[in-house]
Amino acid sequence: MRFRDGQWLVAEGVQVQYAEEVYRITPTASGKGISLLCPTRKILNRGNTLNLATLSIDIEPAFDGVLSVETTHWQGAVRRGPDFDLFPAGRPEVDAKVTKTESGTTLSSGTLSATVSGKPHEFEIAFHPTGGKKPLTTLLNRSVGLAYTPAPSTPMQLADMRNFRHYIFTQTTLAVGESIHGLGERFGPFNKVGQRVELWNADGGTSSDQAYKNVGFWMSSRGYGVFVDTPGRVELEIGSERCCRLQTSVEGQRLRWFIIYGPSPRDILRRYSVLTGAPGSVPSWSFGLWLSTSFTTSYDEETVNSFLAGMRARDIPVEVFHFDCFWLKAFQWCDFEFDRDMFPDPRGQIGRLKAGGLVKKVCVWTNPYLGQASPVFAEAAARGYLLRRRNGDVFQWDLWQTGMGIVDFTNPDARAWFAACLDRLFDTGVDCIKTDFGERIPSEDVQWFDPSVDPERMHNYYAFIYNKLVYEALQRRYGANEAVLFARAATAGCQRFPLTWGGDCESTPEAMAESLRGGLSLGLSGFAFWSVDIGGFEGSPPPWIYKRWVAFGLLCSHSRLHGSNSYRVPWTVDGDDQSEEGCSATLRKWTHLKARLMPYLFSQAQESVRGGLPLSLRAMCIEFPDDPTAWTLDRQFMLGDGLLVAPVFEEDGTVEFYLPRGKWTNFFTGEVKEGPGWFAETHGFGTLPLYVRPNTLLVLGKEGETRTVYDYTSDVEVRAYFASDSASAVLVDAEGKTVGTLRVKDGEIIGKELLSGSSVINVVSS
C-alpha cells in the first residue's frame, strides 16, 4: 500500500506518523534483546512527550545469523492466531551480546548484528555482519511508522476504531544495484525491484501479479533475506513507492520480520529452513513420469487403460497415473467417492493397473470443498465441519461448485473426518493426493470453529493446515518418506509437505516462460521440489510447444502431463507422428534421460532437503552469487549443482543462454564452451542446452535405462568433467540413504569399490 504521494506529500485520505528518534533503549523481556522506544516527533522538551504516538521496536536474537524485528504501536491489541509454525525441528541456541559505545548500541546474534545510532534525536538502525561496518540494509529516518485511513481530523475520533484502518510499515533501504527475489511463486519479472507485491493467495492463473503460493520471504543480492512473520495480508512496495526503499506494511498494530544473514544464498536458505522448516523428502518413484486424465475430458476405465497401454507400447514408462476431478460424480465434489457409473470397481481397476505393470502408483484429485449436492454435505454441515458465516449459516457460494462449503480445519473433529475419508481412498489403492485449491478462502463475514483465529490470517494459512493434514495422513499410511502431494496453494512452511506444481498456465511459449519464473521464485522461497503442467493447462498445445515443454518439464524435479480440456498423451497431440521428431519419440527420449539421471538427481535431492535448496528449478544466483549476471537470469536454471538447463521457447529451436566462468561441457555432444559469456544455439526436439559444470563427477544410470527406481550404484556410468581434487559425488540408494562418496585425489577417482556390476568411469572433459 502506498502511503505517500511522491516524495513530499502524504497520500490523499491517509495520516502517517513516523518514528522520529530513538528516545530510550531497554532490555526486552527475554533479557537477550533490545527494546527501542521511538516517539513520532523529536523530544526536545518534556512537553513534547505528551499527546503523541510512540512505536516500540523490539530486536531479538533468533539464532546465529538471524534477528527478529517487531514494531508495535498499541501493545494492548489482542494477539490473534494463527501463527506460522516456527522452528519445527527445534530452536538452536543463540549467542547474543549487547555492546554500547559512543556511536551506538549493537545487538549481535552470532554472525549478524544490528546497530542503533547513538546520535541524539536520530533514528537509524543498521543491519550488518558482526565485526563489519558495511550495512546489509538499514532503517533510516522516516522508515518505520503507522498510518490511518481515512485520516482522522482529531485523535478523539480514534475512540471508535471501527471506522478506521490502522497500518504498521517499515522501509528497509535498497542499495544501488541491489535486486530482490522470491516471495513465493511469482510469474512476473524475476527481480522484484520496481514492483508492488501483495501476499494474498489467489486462483489467478500464471499470467498476472496474483499467485497461488505467497511466501513472505525475499532474498537480496546483497547477502541477506527477510521473512515477514504473519500469514495475513502483506503489501510490499519494492522500490515502487520510494525507489531506494522496500516497504512492508500490514493492517494491525504489530509487524514482525526476521532478517537472515548469508552471506551466500545457500546460507540464507539453510537458515530460513531452520526458521520455517526444511523441505520434506520425496520417494524415488515420484521422480518418474506422471500421466493425468486432464480435467474436463471424458474418460473411464477403458480410456485409462488405453492411455497406459499406448504409453507402454511406445516405451514411455509411466510411474504415476493421476485421476483428475471427474473421478468424482459431477456436482458432488469432493465427497471422496468414485463415480460408479464411470468406474464401477475402483479398487479392482487400480489393482489391475498395478498388477499389469501399466503403472506403479495412483494419484487422485481432491479439494477441501463440499458441493451441496454431495450426500456428505448435510452430514458435514450438521456436525460443524464447515466454515460458517457470523450469523450461523454455513458459508456457501456458487463459485467452483454449486452451493459449496469449505471444510473448517480449525475443528479437530473435521480434521479427523477428512483424514478418515482419505484413509478410505488409501484402502482403494490410492498412493498420493493432488491437493488442489485452498486459495479462495473468505476473510469477511466468517466465523471459524476456533474463535481465537483472525479470518484474515486464516486466508493464506489455510493452505498450510490443509496440506499438512493430507501429508501427515499419507505418512501414517505409507511411511515418513513415502508421502507425496501435488499441491497448488502454499504459504511459508508448506515446503515441509512436498510437492507443488505451478498452477493453470496457458499452452503458449510465453506461459512456459511465466511458469519458469514462478518456479525460480518459489525455489528462492525455500521449496525444494516443483512441477508444471507439461504442454500447458489451458488450451491445446501445437506439437512444437508440447515438445519444447516436454524437454523443460522432464528436467524439473517432478514431471506431469496434464491439461484442461484436451489429453496430453503424445499421440493425440500430433496425430501419432511416428518419426524421431514426433511427440511420442520426444517424450520417450526425455523420460529415458531422466531415468538415467536418477543417481545424480536423487543424491542432489537429499542435499536439497538438508540445505533448504531447490533441486529444480534452482536459480543461477544460488550457485554463482558473485556473478552479477546470475542474478538477472530468468530463462535458465540449475538442476542440482552440476547441470545447467536452458529451455527452448522458439519453434525454430533457437535459444540464447549464459554460461558463468569456467569450461562447460555439452551433455549430449561433449563440446566445451568457456564462460563467462552468452551463447546461441539451435536445437531439435531431442536436445536443449544442457551443460555440465566444470569440476563435476556425474553419476548416471546405464545407457538405455528406463526405470526411475533401481540400484544407483550398480551398472552406472561415472563421468568426470574437468574434475580436480575437490570434485566429489555422493552415492545414495533408492531410499535416499548415503552409500558413500566418490572423490578425485591426485587425478584418480577413489571409492570405486562402492560401485558394482558393469559400472564404468569415463573422463569426458579434462
- Rounded distance between C-alpha atoms, residue 238 and residue 194, angstroms: 6
3-state secondary structure 71-119: EECCCCCCCCECCCCCCCCCCCCCCEEEEEECCEEEEEECCEEEEEECC
And the C-alpha cell for 135?
550495512
203, 319, 324, 439: which one is catalytic?
439
60, 319, 436, 574: which one is catalytic?
436
Is residue 674 part of the annotated active site? The answer reads no
Contacts of 30 (CB under 8 A, 6+ apart): 60
- Rounded distance between C-alpha atoms, residue 699 and residue 597, angstroms: 7
What is 280-307 written as a DSSP string?
Answer: PP--GGGGSEEEE--SS----HHHHHHH
Q: Nearest 5 degrees, angle CA 191-CA 194-CA 196?
A: 100
Contact 692, 698 (CB under 8 A): yes
Q: Reply yes or no: is the peptide bond before residue 676 cis, omega within 30 of 0.
A: yes
The dihedral of CA 348, 351, 352, 353: what is its sign? Answer: positive
Is residue 341 part of the annotated active site? The answer reads no
Q: Whose CA is closest to 96, among 126, 71, 130?
A: 130
Question: Rounded to the nearest 5°, which phi and psi values hold at 445?
Answer: 55, 45
Interstrand relation of 125-129 and 137-149 (parallel, antiparallel or unpaired): antiparallel
Distance of CA 714 to the CA centre of its chain: 34
Residue type at 625 in one-letter notation: P
The dihedral of CA 673, 676, 681, 684: what is its sign? Answer: positive
Contacts of 534 (CB under 8 A, 6+ apart): 546, 549, 550, 552, 553, 554, 559, 560, 561, 562, 568
Helix, coil or strand: residue 547: helix
Residue for grid cell 522461497:
525
60, 324, 456, 504: which one is catalytic?
504
Is residue 439 part of the annotated active site? The answer reads yes
Contact 208, 187 (CB under 8 A): yes
Q: Which residues are catalytic?
A: 436, 439, 504
